[in-house]
Amino acid sequence: MPEQRVAEHLRRLPLFSRLPEVELAELGDRVRTKQFKRGETIFRKDDPGTHLYMVLDGAVKIALPGEFGQEALVAIMRPGEFFGELALFDRSPRSASATALEDTRAALLAGDDFLAYLESHPASFRVVLETLARTIRRLSDRVEDLIFLDVPSRVAKYLIDLARSTGGDGTELTLTQDELAAFIGASRVSVNRVLGDLERREIISIRRRRIAIKDPERLARRFGSDAGPAEASARARSRGRPRAGGRDRQCPQGRWTGRQARSGWR
- The mean pLDDT of the chain is 77
pLDDT value at residue 117: 86
Report d(CA 71, CA 56) in Å as an integer.
25
Most distant pair of Cα atoms in the chain: their distance: 57
CA trace torsion 146, 151, 156, 158 (10° rounding): 40
Distance CA 73, CA 194 (A): 19
Average pLDDT over residues 139-168: 80
Q: Give 131-143 pLDDT, tens digit per residue.
A: 888 888 888 888 8
Tell me what the mean pLDDT of segment 38-45 comes to.
95
> Percentage of the chain surpassing pLDDT 90?
20
| pLDDT of the residue at 174 | 67
Domain residue ranges in the chain: 3-139, 150-239
Reduced to 3 states, what is the DSSP secondary structure of residue 132?
helix
Look at the chain and count its residues.
Answer: 266
The tally of CA atoms less than 13 A away on the side-chain side of residue 111 is 16
DSSP label at 144?
H
Check residue 52 and report its DSSP letter: E
- Centre a 10 Å sphere on the Cβ of residue 5 and count the other Cβ atoms it contains: 12
Q: How confident is the model at residue 163 (pLDDT cuts 50, 70, 90)?
A: low
In degrees, to the nearest 5, what angle opens at C-alpha 102 toward C-alphas 140 and 143?
Answer: 10
CA-CA-CA-CA dihedral for 156, 160, 161, 165, to nearest 10:
150
Same fold, 3-139 and 150-239: no
CATH topology of domain 150-239: Arc Repressor Mutant, subunit A (1.10.10)
pLDDT at 29: 84
Residue 33 above 60 pLDDT? yes
- What is the per-residue pLDDT for 238? 53
Q: Picking from 63-67, 217-221, 255-259, which range would have the lowest pLDDT averaged per residue?
A: 255-259
Q: What is the pLDDT of residue 261?
A: 33
Other beta carbons within 10 angstroms of residue 107's beta carbon come to 22
78, pLDDT greater than 50: yes
Reported as a pLDDT band with limits 50, 70 and 90, residue 88 is: confident
Position with higher pLDDT, 139 vs 233: 139
Measured in whole angstroms, the distance separating CA 121 from the mean position of its chain's CA atoms is 27
Res 104: pLDDT = 96
Q: Output 3-10 pairs: Cβ under 8 A, ≥24 positions apart.
A: 3/28, 3/29, 4/28, 6/31, 6/33, 6/107, 9/33, 9/54, 9/56, 9/107, 10/54, 10/107
Once rounded to an integer, what is the mean pLDDT over residues 115-135? 84
Q: What is the architecture of the domain spanning 3-139?
A: Sandwich (2.60)
Q: Which pLDDT score is estimated for 260?
A: 35
CA of residue 192 relative to chain centroid, distance? 21
Say how far apart CA 33 and CA 11 lie, in whole Å. Answer: 15
Residue, of 151 and 254, whose pLDDT is higher:
151
pLDDT at position 221, please? 75
- 197 or 218: which leads in pLDDT: 197
